[in-house]
Amino acid sequence: MEKGKDIHVGDRILVKQAKEEIEGILLESHEAGIVLVKLNSGYNIGVDRSNILEMNVVKKAEKREEKTEEFEISHKKPVIDLIMTGGTISSSLDAKTGAVKALTSPAELFKFYPEIFALADIRVISPFMKLSENMGPEDWSKIAKQVVKSLNDPAVHGVIVSHGTDTLHYTSAALSFFIKNLNKPVALTYSQRSSDRGSSDAELNLLCAAKMALSDVAEVMLVGHASMNDDFCYALPGTKTRKMHTSRRDTFKAINSTPIAKITRDKIEILREYNKRKTGKEAKAELDDSFEEKIALIKFYPGQDPEILNYYAKQGYKGIVIEMSGLGHVLTEGSKNWVPVIRELVKRGIFICAACQTLYGRLDPMVYSPGRELEKAGVVYLKDILPETAFVKLGWVLGHKEWNAEQKKQKMLENISGEFNERLGAEFI
């Protein structure tokens, strides 16, 4: 609230500065001294309070109608299981008062998101509530178990998983590997901020996730804002997506890949090939969540001592993903040469693989001699995989104790859940 004036978050205001006037909706600002305004374009702009000459209300905020009727399952609409796991999307909705509150009942959700309840009967399930940076492989397993249970319930049309953003792309990769024979849509969604109800990205993201959950697309997808405006979402591939901005609503980007679908409030536009919903008795999703937790991800930096590899080996680690520079390089000369250390660890049965530090593009160990040396020492080059997806896949593959060393290598190089884009490359050579 603006002191001394009757201006509140949600009001349409006119901000006068020396050179320009700005009109828009007043948002809650996290930064002291900054007045945050949502423009008609959908963009938010921060105005330094010290530059403001005058600020007036153009139109008071309309009170958001809170549905007072009791929430009820209609038994007439398709059913979506909404698996809530925490994060901004399911908490902090009342940022105005600063109170953090978990929303886990359908009745509470109904108040905030009546639109998705118009589309489907929403059953809310919450295996746990966590910030996503606190999640790990055990949590991925818990989520996968619940997703499979829901997918195999004949009453369920599709599944939404709501989740914090920080590690959502790890969880989407985990579900992509942990669930075999996927029969129905699994849409992971999130919100980046819920600074006030007007500016929250949660409503559109949830609505688009619900639309995808009801669609024909039987994929693990990450559904959320496609731009900074509140106009449409993308459904992004579970193994080829990464959080690329600390705070933007369109933080998730497909890397070395493209969105599966564009979703507006009106329709779904399919953008490429996808796996279709399966029906019949054969169409049962299966859980395959074996996971080796003794794995590490190392991002190589100049001058780095390869002793870090020996450290992990001594701690009993079974596999390491190295985020290498360029086409897949690390230090290969002098006293800090990585080649002999890697050769020795690979001999001792530790799985060492490479992903790209550049994120975009494809590894190619054959172009320069360091790559050839590293490959000869036993590094498995994982093509155009994301480092985060490589980490999850390595844990999953090494978790399968029934596979021998050669099978594990084959599995790491096999395109199991779209983690490699075989079509990528020719245009970039």
Residues classed as catalytic: 88, 165-166, 243
**d(C-alpha 12, C-alpha 236), whole Å:** 34
For a second copy, the closer of residues 181 and 325 by Cβ is 325
We find the least distance from the C-beta atom of residue 183 to a second copy, in angstroms, to be: 27
We find the least distance from the C-beta atom of residue 118 to a second copy, in angstroms, to be: 31
Half-sphere exposure for 310 (CA within 13 Å, toward CB): 10
We find the least distance from the C-beta atom of residue 213 to a second copy, in angstroms, to be: 25
We find the least distance from the C-beta atom of residue 297 to a second copy, in angstroms, to be: 5
**d(C-alpha 425, C-alpha 356), whole Å:** 14
Residue 89 structure tokens: 């999307």
We find the least distance from the C-beta atom of residue 318 to a second copy, in angstroms, to be: 14
For a second copy, the closer of residues 146 and 195 by Cβ is 195
Residue 404 structure tokens: 């021998």
CA 278 centroid distance within chain: 25
We find the least distance from the C-beta atom of residue 182 to a second copy, in angstroms, to be: 22
Q: What angle do the packed helices 387-399 and 168-178 form, to 10 degrees?
A: 40
Q: Is 354 left (phi over 0), alpha (psi -120 to 50) or beta?
A: beta
Residue 354 φ/ψ, nearest 5 degrees: -120, 140
**d(C-alpha 409, C-alpha 82), whole Å:** 36
- What 3-state class would DSSP assign to 200? coil
For a second copy, the closer of residues 150 and 389 by Cβ is 389
CB atoms within 10 A of CB 53: 9
Tokens 């096999």 belong to 414
- What 3-state class would DSSP assign to 308? helix
For a second copy, the closer of residues 244 and 416 by Cβ is 244
* Sequential DSSP letters for 104-157: -SHHHHHHH-HHHHHH-EEEEE-S----GGG--HHHHHHHHHHHHHHHT-TTEE
We find the least distance from the C-beta atom of residue 390 to a second copy, in angstroms, to be: 11
Half-sphere exposure for 15 (CA within 13 Å, toward CB): 25
Angle made by CA atoms 87, 178, 272, in degrees to the nearest 5: 85
For a second copy, the closer of residues 95 and 210 by Cβ is 95
We find the least distance from the C-beta atom of residue 119 to a second copy, in angstroms, to be: 30
Q: Are 400 and 290 in contact (CB under 8 A)?
A: yes
For a second copy, the closer of residues 323 and 419 by Cβ is 323
- What 3-state class would DSSP assign to 96? coil
CB atoms within 10 A of CB 368: 14
For a second copy, the closer of residues 4 and 303 by Cβ is 303
Among the listed residues 365, 399, 421, 214, the one whose alpha carbon sits nearest the alpha carbon of residue 289 = 399
* Sequential DSSP letters for 58-87: EEPPPPPPPP-SPP---SSSPEEEEEE--S
Q: Are strands 351-356 and 319-324 parallel, antiparallel or unpaired?
A: parallel
For a second copy, the closer of residues 111 and 142 by Cβ is 142
